[in-house]
Each structure stands twice: as C-alpha cells, then as structure tokens.
Amino acid sequence: MQVQPFHLAIPVQNLEKCRTFYRDILNCEEGRSTEQWVDFNFFGHQLVIEYQPTEAVTNPVDGHDVPVPHFGVVLTWEDWHSLADRLKTANTKFEIAPCIRFKGKVGEQATMFFKDPENNALEFKAFQDMNQLFAK
C-alpha cells in the first residue's frame, strides 16, 4: 500500500495567531481557508486549524457540522470508496455520511466522518486530483 498523507484538524481559540505560527515560524504552506479554518501543508500532511472560541464540538463546513477535533487519513479514490462500502455494509453510524464536499470547487473531495468506540471523530477523505489537497 502506498503511504498517503495524514489529516488532522485541531481546535484553536486564536486563528490568526496560530495561522502566523504555522505559516511563518514552521514555514508550512497555507492552503485553502475561510474565516473559520485554515489548511496547511504540514510537511506533506494536511493539518487544519479550526477556530473554536469555546468548547464547541462542531464547525460548519460546506453545509455539514464537522466534529472538532478529528483526525484521519487521505486515501486513494478507490480505497476511499471501498472503505465507504465496507462501513455501510457494517451498518456504521456516520456523523457525516460518505459524500462529495466542495463539489465543483477548489479542494473537491470525498469525505466521511464516524466515531471510534471511544467517541474519537475520524475523517477519511480522498481527492480524484491529489493536487487539490493543498490547493488554494
């Protein structure tokens, strides 16, 4: 199996201070962003800082309430679809069912969210075009 980039989304209370740290101190290239979150190329992996002023547990992203914090991995398109099918067959309770996010926009991706037995939120995503992973 080819190693794919890791994905981690972490909550931050000061988005601009953290953005400056990851961009200017760690020299991580900034990708797409909104007023709520910023993607970074974290040494070949996808790190997302998500503004959370309090102990909120979700963040609105493209019409879904995304659990924060969460982590996962970027799979190949084919592996993502295989995993989605396997999870559906196993009657997995999805936080966000398998879907295409940012359809027709920069960063278009397949994504799904579910929780492990200890309530940790997991996201598995895939890009048909891996150049979209860090696209702005």
Question: What's the pLDDT score for residue 117?
Answer: 67
Q: What residue segments make up the domains of the chain, in order of their start?
A: 6-132
Q: What is the pLDDT of residue 118?
A: 62
Query: Terminal CA-to-CA distance of the chain, rounded, Å?
Result: 28
The single residue listed with the structure tokens 């989304």 is 9
Tell me the pTM. 0.68
Characterize 56-72 residue by residue with b for buried, 16 or more Cβ atoms within 10 angstroms of its Cβ, and e for exposed: eebbebbebebbbebeb
CATH for 6-132, among 3.40.50.920, 3.40.50.1000, 3.10.180.10, 3.40.50.300?
3.10.180.10
pLDDT along the chain (136 residues), means of 10: 83 91 90 94 91 78 86 90 93 95 94 82 91 84
Of 99, 101, 5, nearest in space to 62 by CA: 101
